[in-house]
Amino acid sequence: MPLLEELPTELSQTLAVHRNGTGDLPLQVAVQSDRVANGDFGSRWLVADSHALRIYTVAGEGGKSSLDLTLPFADVASIRDEGMVGGGSLFATRKNGGDTIELLRYGTSLAGNMAGVARVLNATATGESFPEDADTVDDRRVCPKCGRPLPKNSNVCQACLNQGKTLARLFQYATEKRGLVIVLAVLMIAGTAAQLAPGVVVRHLTDDVLAAAPGVSDTERLRTLPWLVGALVASQLLAAVITIFRGRLSSFLSNSITLRLRTDLFNHLQKLGLSFYDKRQSGALLARVTQDVNELNNFLVDGLQFLVVNGLAIVGIVAILMYHNPLLTFLVILPLPIVIFVTRMTWRFLRRYMERMWHLRSIMTAALSSTLSGTRVVKAFAQEDREIDRFRGRVGGLYDVSLKVDQNMATVFPLLAFLMSAGSFVVWYIGGRSVVKDVMTLGTFQMFLFFLGQLYGPLQQMTRIADWLSRAVTSAERVFEILDTEADVKDAATAVPLDRIEGSIKFENVSFGYDKVRRVLDGVNLDVKPGEMIGLVGHSGAGKTTIINLLSRFYDPTEGRILIDGQDMKDVKLNDLRRQLGIVLQEPFLFPGTIADNIAYANPAASPEEVMRAAKAANAHDFVMRFPDGYDTQVGERGVRLSGGERQRLSIARAILHNPRILILDEATASVDTETEAEIQQAIQRLIAGRTTFAIAHRLSTLRNADRLVVMDKGKVAEVGTHDELMNKENGIFRRLVDMQLEINKLRVLEG
């Protein structure tokens, strides 16, 4: 939604009157809200030029407009948007300590656009330049071509899908094996010819042997019989051999294509930034790699062969029949236009249900993946029945749509089959009369019957090729959608290597938001020296973890830049940066495998001795050795066989073995007891020597030894200093946080 919408005629006239002498000033904002002043649904407009903003309420479509507010920008100190339950509001604050005025209320669907409105209005009030992305903040999920809503987790619009282009792109994957494709095409043609040969042989067998002309002797007929029978056997055998080779070659080519597709898809998923995964369910992405690629494989193995071979067979059969009896052939194929028309109408009717079916199948996969991943939480809160009901609801929706599709197909296709088989009745009647009148030979009649059996089967199946093709094209487009997604965090064309990071880090006016509605960081400036330990503290949601995410370059700043050793992080090769970063996350993640494999994940070439030294440094060696298999112990899915503290210590050991130049500790000691925490703190003190370290901790006492503490508040750097310096600030944020923690600890002691 742009920031300049077309005004209703009556509102435009009313606005011209209210603006008086400022009509020559161009409008900068004209947006419609979906809520009125009391929060009910309705039409309300905010219109602004460089002089003032005005709020109008419009009474229904084509109704009169009433001016609710006129606010000159000269009186405005700031304008902000604030999210609320089910939507949000725009607020203006007057200058000189004035009051705050609510300008507009809006629903959730307009939140992204209103954030851009607030930024433009603020720029107008303060005389700043407009933000470049102000008119592109709307994230409504609609097709840019036709305006139809897009499916969840996908940008593929079924109505605008270009099947030809998608198939052409899919077949490009076969260009590497062009020679085999040519061989496959030759086999298809040869196989089709071998399958049609028996029909011609049957004609000669009947006319030359079984019902030969009166002048042909029995000896001559018996001499011809074995040759014709041999031709039947040879053609059938040749067809079988060609079919075997064609099937094996087709299977090799199709599986090679799907192997490359699946590999390319996984490789590209690894390159995409976290912002891509923030907006998608893992189960939906899993469906792309498994179900969609399997659908393509089925089409390439069976569907494409079926389409080409049966298409060749139909053309060949019609050509042979036309050669021998054009009139009878015309009568046989007369029902085909009706069949094609009914088939197209049927698929057009079923298409929206099939799209819904594919969408519900993806949702079911995502729900199943989510529930199985969180099975411990489900059981811990005794929510099995609730999850069963939820899954039954999703499966039930899929059942209803699938049943409707299958029942309609089960009704239509038998009727189409009967309609197509009407040609056989024509052959028996018209052909029979022709044989009786000696206009047609019995062999030609038998050939017609033989080819009809081969013609109607492919024709009946060809009516379903639209479904097969539609499924394949949709799956291909969903795969290509992922492959076409640009990584938002990637190496610049001019990126330079960085063999060794010294550890100097500088944040210059860094701002960032995970979406276009809210900023999590706002103008952060921070200068860190090599080898310095920085403690990040603040309330939850203040922006601590976001700083870590930007430093790890999981995301790039929306504004400003981050310098490492004097170079913009975006100009450094991403692999060189990540290779020298060590991260211990608040929620440690372990891969299925052994303890040794998880410790050596970032350094697979590490020796057992190095793995053991890292485990000892993280105070993990003792509990590892208590397992019967020691370092060969399987940790299970996500490390479920270990306690939270044990997983955390293995995560620390993994970072220690990585030997990073920049160390990031995100609540690294949150899941351990007090005694183990003290031992890990000693190990961390040895580890951080000579390394730049960023540490987040809610237990503020653990950051006492940090060189500096950076206190974050509402996305800004509120305080910077040593532990003692910040404690000496009586009304400081850090001092209040420490006092609050002390009070909570006292309460816990009293309760104990």
- Asked whether residue 440 is domain-assigned, the answer is yes
* 274 and 228 within one domain: yes
Nearest to 526 by CA among 668, 694, 662, 687: 694
Buried b (16+ CB within 10 A) or exposed e, 298-315: bbbbebbbbbbbbebbbe
Query: In whole angstroms, how far apart are CA 102 and each of 68, 111, 644?
Result: 11, 15, 47
Q: What does residue 607 show for φ and ψ, rounded to 5 degrees?
A: -80, 160
Which amino acid is residue 68, in one-letter code?
D
Q: Are 726 and 709 in contact (CB under 8 A)?
A: yes
pLDDT band at 545 (very low <50, low <70, confident <90, very high): confident
Average pLDDT for 454-462: 70
* 268 and 408 within one domain: yes
End-to-end CA distance of the chain: 57
Average pLDDT for 80-97: 79
Check residue 527 and give its pLDDT.
Answer: 92
- Asked whether residue 495 is domain-assigned, the answer is no
Average pLDDT for 262-269: 84
What CATH number is attached to the domain comprising 81?
Answer: 2.30.29.30
Query: Does the pLDDT at position 615 exceed 70?
Result: yes
* 315 and 434 within one domain: yes
pLDDT band at 24 (very low <50, low <70, confident <90, very high): low
* 326 and 197 within one domain: yes
Check residue 105 and give its pLDDT.
Answer: 87
- Among 255-264, 492-501, 636-645, the range scoring the smallest mean pLDDT is 636-645
Q: What is the pLDDT of residues 153-180, one digit of tens each?
A: 555 555 565 666 777 777 777 777 888 8
* 548 and 440 within one domain: no
Check residue 297 and give its pLDDT.
Answer: 77
* 445 and 330 within one domain: yes
Q: Are 575 and 496 in contact (CB under 8 A)?
A: no
* Both tokens assigned to 44: 């309300």
- Asked whether residue 452 is domain-assigned, the answer is yes
- Asked whether residue 406 is domain-assigned, the answer is yes
| pTM (predicted TM-score) | 0.61
Q: What is the pLDDT of residues 513-542, one digit of tens each?
A: 876 656 788 889 999 999 888 988 888 778
- Asked whether residue 210 is domain-assigned, the answer is yes
Check residue 562 and give its pLDDT.
Answer: 92
Check residue 144 and give its pLDDT.
Answer: 55
DSSP-assigned letter for residue 427:
I
Please identify, among 484, 512, 537, the residue that sits at the C-terminal boundary of a domain.
484
* 480 and 522 within one domain: no
Separation of alpha carbons 440 and 451, rounded Å: 16
Which residues span the domain enclosing 744?
Answer: 503-580+697-752
Quote the longest CA-to-CA distance of the chain.
126
- Asked whether residue 410 is domain-assigned, the answer is yes
Check residue 62 and give its pLDDT.
Answer: 58
* 515 and 431 within one domain: no
Nearest to 577 by CA among 695, 495, 507: 495
Check residue 217 and give its pLDDT.
Answer: 72
Computed over every residue of the chain, the mean pLDDT equals 78
Separation of alpha carbons 719 and 736, rounded Å: 12
Check residue 282 and give its pLDDT.
Answer: 67
Please identify, among 121, 136, 151, the residue that sits at the C-terminal boundary of a domain.
136
What CATH number is attached to the domain comprising 240?
Answer: 1.20.1560.10
* 105 and 195 within one domain: no
- Asked whether residue 606 is domain-assigned, the answer is no
Check residue 746 and give its pLDDT.
Answer: 58
Domains in the chain, number: 3
* 425 and 472 within one domain: yes
Name, in order, each residue with C-beta under 8 angstroms of 22's C-beta and a sequence gap of 6 or more: 49, 51, 52
